[in-house]
């Protein structure tokens, strides 16, 4: 294998594989990225941890074709250390890889592994139905719900996000058992479908990275579409030059419709920025163990307090639109902050029924987004 392409293109190409290559695997080959030079003038980088796989290409000057597996972390470190400009990558039969700056003396040698030892990557079924979703839409769905995915990998049904396509509505729902978030949008194209995907947290992280990269591109790739295909146990998200395969979670997502109240007895209308400011201030004095704050409601006013037996307490008040009876309810302040941080609307509505009932957080102007937070006993 012998190819040349600019350093910036190499960094972008191999940067996409870094989150997938498994650095802690007991299988050494999984910490490598598969580098393949094709006769059609492209350089392909592929990585997998056996649960996810990514494959991405870039145009290159290919003098000889071939394939070799190279340690992913070491490769990107050496590419970053190269001077700007074209970089030559070549390999020998012994799987040694030479990385050389064209027109300069700087070079690195890396011990690789034969490309034939690399695991086969999953591929979608040739008959799989293809559906299109805008990258900015999928990125928005993830950004507004990712915070309530459980980090507990022993509970796969909670360590994942539910992506539903229901007629012409696209919906993402996540929960960690203490809170829930749901966000839905209409398909831009009006395309109709019916399916559900349970995507693990690690897959959501990589998918968001891919979408954010497409959103950040200028010109005709702004808001670029992703092709979504389902093939066996995997879902495939493809762009013009990359494919991300994610093994879906084989578990039952909680019946989230039963958690969302059909109605609440009281509602509070409050400015999001002012509410955020007060909660952030009160969180400074909240207990590190529980993170609890109390919301005390009276007509027209919300009093927010936090108590820490080790260091002291704090309180503040903000005006709100509330006409219900006096009520005090406790919450983990981080849960409320996360939900408010996922919104960008100026005003929000809190739906409340009782001191032991969940609170429903949603934009005042629309019901496309709903967050549910369970209260704490106070």
Q: Tens of pLDDT along 129-164? A: 889 999 999 999 999 999 999 999 999 999 999 999
Least confident among 66-75, 199-208, 271-280, 360-369: 360-369
Q: Using one digit for the tens of pLDDT, what is the confidence trace for 77-103?
A: 999 999 999 999 999 888 999 999 999
**176-191 pLDDT per residue, tens:** 999 999 999 998 877 8
- Do the domains 130-256 and 261-373 sit in the same CATH topology, yes or no? yes
Query: What pLDDT does 213 receive?
Result: 85
pLDDT: is 60 or 366 the higher one? 60
Name every residue whose Cβ is closer than 8 Å to that of residue 40 and which is 6 or more positions away in sequence.
none
What number is the average pLDDT over the span 316-333?
Answer: 95
3-state secondary structure 129-156: CEEEEEHHHHHHHHHCCHHHCCCCCCCC
Instruction: Read off the pLDDT of each residue in 288-303 and give the average, rounded to a whole number.
Output: 93
Number of other CB atoms surrounding residue 202 within 10 Å? 18
**Residue 41: predicted pLDDT:** 95
Class in CATH terms, 261-373:
alpha beta
Tokens 């058992």 belong to: 177
User: In the predicted model, is pLDDT for residue 221 greater than 50?
Assistant: no
Provide the CATH topology of domain 2-117: DNA Polymerase III; Chain A, domain 2 (3.10.150)
Using DSSP, state whether 218 is helix, strand or coil. coil
CB atoms within 10 A of CB 241: 15
Tell me the angle at which helices 272-283 and 333-341 cross, rounded to the nearest 10 degrees.
150
Q: Say yes or no to pLDDT of 218 above 70.
A: no
Q: What is the C-alpha separation between 340 and 275, in angstroms, rounded?
A: 9
* Between residues 141 and 231, the one the model is more confident about: 141
With a cut of 80, say whether residue 122 has pLDDT above it: yes
Range in 60-64, 138-142, 144-148, 229-233 the model is least confident about: 229-233
At residue 129, the pLDDT reads: 81
Q: Are the beta carbons of 53 and 121 closer than 8 angstroms? A: yes
Q: Is pLDDT at 116 greater than 90 in this prediction?
A: yes
Q: Rounded to the nearest 5 degrees, what angle is found at the Cα of 335, between the Cα atoms of 332 and 340?
A: 130
Per-residue pLDDT for 311 more than 90?
A: no
User: Averaged over 207-228, what is the pLDDT?
Assistant: 74
Do residues 87 and 4 touch, judged by C-beta distance below 8 A? yes
Q: Give percent of the chain above pLDDT 70.
A: 98
Structure confidence at residue 217 (pLDDT): 53
Q: What percent of the chain has pLDDT over 90?
A: 83
Q: How many CA atoms lie within 13 A of 56 on its CB side?
A: 21
pLDDT for position 222: 46
What ranges do the domains of the chain cover? 2-117, 130-256, 261-373
Name residues whose C-beta falls within 8 Å of residue 183's C-beta, 6 or more positions apart in sequence.
140, 141, 144, 145, 171, 172, 342, 368, 369, 370
Mean pLDDT (the chain) is: 93
Residue 220 confidence (pLDDT) above 80: no
pLDDT given for residue 216 in this prediction: 60
The two structure tokens encoding residue 235: 């879902």
- What is the pLDDT confidence band of residue 56, given thresholds at 50, 70 and 90? very high
- Mean pLDDT for the stretch of residues 98-112: 96
Cα–Cα dist 302/269, whole Å: 10
Within the chain, residue ranges assigned H as helices are: 7-15, 72-80, 135-143, 201-216, 272-283, 333-341
Q: Is pLDDT at 272 greater than 60 in this prediction?
A: yes
Work out the pLDDT band at 288, boundaries 50, 70, 90. confident
> What CATH topology corresponds to 130-256?
DNA Polymerase III; Chain A, domain 2 (3.10.150)
Exposed e or buried b per residue across 65-82, where buried means at least 16 C-beta atoms within 10 angstroms of its C-beta: ebbbbbbbebbbebbeeb
Query: How many other C-beta atoms lie within 10 A of the C-beta of residue 46?
Result: 25
Which position has the token pair 């805008």? Answer: 134
DSSP codes of every residue in 181-196: EEEEEE-TT---EEEE
Point out the least confidently predicted range of 123-127, 214-218, 271-275, 357-361: 214-218
Per DSSP, the chain holds a count of helices (H) and strands (E) of 6, 26
**Which of 203, 232, 237 has its CA nearest to residue 133?**
237
Answer whether 99's CB lies under 8 Å from 92's CB: no
């Amino acid at each position: 294998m012998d190819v040349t392409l600019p350093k910036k293109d190499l960094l972008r190409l191999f940067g996409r594989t870094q989150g997938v290559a498994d650095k802690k695997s007991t299988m050494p080959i999984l910490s490598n990225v598969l580098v393949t030079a094709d006769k059609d003038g492209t350089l392909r980088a592929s990585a997998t941890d056996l649960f996810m796989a990514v494959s991405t290409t870039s145009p290159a000057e290919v003098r000889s074709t071939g394939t070799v597996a190279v340690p992913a972390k070491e490769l990107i470190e050496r590419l970053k250390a190269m001077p700007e400009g074209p970089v030559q990558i070549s390999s020998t039969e012994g799987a040694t890889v030479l990385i050389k700056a064209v027109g300069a003396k700087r070079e690195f040698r890396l011990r690789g592994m034969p490309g034939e030892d690399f695991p086969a990557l999953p591929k979608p079924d040739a008959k799989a139905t293809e559906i299109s979703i805008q990258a900015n839409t999928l990125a928005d769905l993830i950004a507004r719900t990712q915070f309530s995915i459980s980090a507990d990998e022993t509970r796969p049904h909670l360590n994942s996000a539910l992506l539903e396509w229901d007629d012409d509505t696209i919906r993402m729902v996540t929960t960690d058992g203490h809170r829930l978030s749901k966000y839905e949008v209409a398909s831009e194209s009006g395309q109709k479908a019916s399916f559900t995907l349970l995507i693990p947290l690690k897959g959501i992280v990589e998918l968001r990275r891919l979408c954010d990269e497409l959103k950040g591109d200028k010109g005709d790739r702004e808001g670029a579409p992703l092709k979504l295909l389902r093939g066996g146990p995997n879902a495939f998200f493809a762009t013009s030059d990359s494919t991300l395969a994610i093994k879906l979670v084989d578990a039952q997502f909680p019946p989230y419709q039963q958690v969302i109240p059909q109605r609440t007895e009281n509602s509070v209308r409050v400015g999001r920025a002012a509410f955020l400011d007060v909660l952030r201030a009160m969180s400074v004095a909240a207990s590190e163990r529980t993170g609890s704050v109390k919301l005390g409601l009276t007509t027209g006013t919300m009093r927010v307090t936090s108590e820490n037996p080790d260091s002291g307490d704090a309180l503040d008040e903000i005006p709100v639109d509330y006409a219900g009876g006096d009520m005090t309810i406790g919450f983990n302040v981080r849960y409320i902050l996360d939900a408010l941080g996922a919104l960008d609307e100026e005003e929000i509505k809190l739906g409340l029924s009782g001191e032991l009932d969940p609170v429903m957080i949603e934009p005042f102007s629309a019901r496309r987004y709903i967050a549910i937070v369970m209260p704490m006993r106070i």
